Structure formats: structure tokens, C-alpha cells
Structure 1
Amino acid sequence: AFELLFRFYYPGLVTFASQIILDRDEAEEIVQDFFVKLWTGRKEIKQSVTLKSYFFTSVKNRALNYLKKEKISEKVRDELREMIETDQLYQPDLFVESELQTRIKTAFEKLPPRTNEVFALSRFKGLSNDQIAEKLNISKRTVETHNSNALKILREELKDYMFLLLLF
């Protein structure tokens, strides 16, 4: 489970830290150090805090501590402080290309075209089986079969990520 958390959050956290300290290599060091500390202190994490906010806040604080140690110019420090205070740096879209989302997309691409179409109409458009059957000119039973097959394929393709899917 820890490895999945690492792979899921690492790219976004590195990008986030890079925006603060303007040094990708140091950002990677900061995030790696964060995950080492997270692993060693994993039993002390408060259950009431969401992982995402905990991770971003911790990395932000580590990045700011790094900047203090490096004694960057006052002008740059003020600009960064303003960006942080106005939440201009925090962008949830950093995870758009995360491994989990890539795996979900890949899993959907493995569905046969008709199964994908039926499943999308059912789950994303909210159509009933009767509505889908009428729209696609197929039987209700065929719609049910397509949805069942889609769920089997998606469960199999995403079985290693079910833990993460439950977190969100």
C-alpha cells in the first residue's frame, strides 16, 4: 500500500515542491525525504487528516525550510510567500497524468468498443438499462451483459489500485 501511495503522489509532490524552490533535483530530494519520514513515522499519522492535504502541507513546509536554509533573495521569498498565501501554487490538476489515472484510462481502453459505449452511457451519463437498450437498439439483457463484462475487466485491470480508489 505504501508503494502505491508513493507512486501515486510522488510526481505531483515533486512538481509542487519544484514550483516553490525552483530546483527540480532539490524538490525530488525533499519529496523523497518526506516519504522516508512518512514511512518511519507512519503509526503517528492522524486519521482525521486527508492524505492529500497532509502530503502537500508537509512538502510545502519542507520546501519552505529548504528556502530558509538557502537564504534566497528577499524579493523571491516575498513573491513565493504571496503565491503560497493566495494558494496559487496548489493545483489539484497536478495529478492529471498520475499513474492511477493513466491505469484507469488504459483499463477503459481495453474494453471492447460496444462494452465501453454501454458502460459509459450507464455510469457516466446515468442512463438506465432500458434507455441504453432503446438508444443502441439492443436488448436490455445485452446491456446488462456489457456492463457486467466491463466491471469484470475493470476490476481485474485495477485490482492493485483498489486501495487507492477507496481513498478518493
Structure 2
Amino acid sequence: MKKKFDMQEQLFAQSLKNGELHGFEYFFWKYSKELFHFAYNLLKSAAEAEEIVQNVFLKVWERRSQIDADQPFRSYLFTIALNDIRKLFIEKARQNKFKIELFQFLVEQGDGSDEEYNFARYLKLLDEEIDRLPEKRKEIFCLLKKEGLTVAEAAHFLGVSPKTVENQLTQAIKSIRNAFHEKQATNLYLFSLHLLQVSHTQFPSC
């Protein structure tokens, strides 16, 4: 029975490799729920787990010509899912590092006794100002300050020079600084100065 089952999967994998939709549908309906539960148990988020499943099958379809029909397809699916989940964990860790930096700065400034409330409020204001940046400037700021990429990594990812990345980051921080100055958001203004100082320390050519 197991041999027949494996042969069936092999045939459907070959069908998928040939670009036939029914091969794709077979594996989607067979494994999508199992993949969702696997991702959910690790991420504890239904939305993120659903996104993982969608991304897995999107990659399967895009890479269908590379499929090895002789290899267990379930393992292939779960390897893709695990790699995507690992990348998501890394992204979250980088984003949390940025949030921790802001929280620590507010604590050091002695911003009242309700740090959690102020942190959430300031983080919201900061995100709003980031969203107002020109698209390319916003992308560069988020890659470096939220996702933790280095200047070289961001430059390679965007296909621009490191100098362009440095200049765009400096301009982004200055725009954020000026916005907080106008709003008289003192602690966020000081935090933006802190970011600018850090940036100039990292990029002395700015």
C-alpha cells in the first residue's frame, strides 16, 4: 500500500513539474492544512501561518521545473516552510531590536512612570512619520533601522551604491527629526538626534 501511495505522489509531482495544475491542486489540498498547523504551532499567529502556507505553494509553483519527483514531496514542502519561518523569526528579532532601542532610550530619559504607555504612543508616532517619507527613503530607513541590514547589504539588495544608502538614511532621520520638532514631541526629537548621531558614527562620510 505504501509503495502505491508513493508512486501516486511521484506521478503528481511529475505532473506538477510539467506545469499541470491538477498536480499542484493535489498537493495543496493534501498538505495545506498540515502546513498551516505546523506554522501556527511555531508562530502562534493564524495570519502569519496562513501567509507561510501561501508563500510555500507560491514558491512551489514558481520553482516547479526544479522539482525532483523521486524525492518525498512532503519533506520538500516542509523544508520551504521551515526556511520561511526561520526568516520571519530573524525579521521579528531585528524589528524588536529597534523597538527595544526606543524603549531603552525613553527609560533613560526618565519619561514618566508609565513607560509602556509612552512607548506604545511614541512607537505609533514614529511609525507614522516613517510612513510619510518618500518611498525609496522609507525603504532604506526600514531596511537599516527596522530590519537590521548593514549599509552594504541594503545597497546590494536595492542595487544602489553604499553612498546613496548613507545619504538617504541621513535625510530620512533629518526629516523625522524636523517633524518631531514641529510637533514638540521632545523625547522623539531627542531619539531622532540619537539615531542621527549613531548614523554619523557608522557613516563618517555623511
Fold match, TM over 0.5?
Answer: no
Q: If the length of structure 2 is used for normalisation, what is the TM-score?
A: 0.34
**Which of structures 1 and 2 has the bigger CA Rg?**
2
Please report the TM-score for the alignment, with normalisation by the length of structure 1: 0.41
Higher relative contact order (CA 8 A, sep 6+): 1
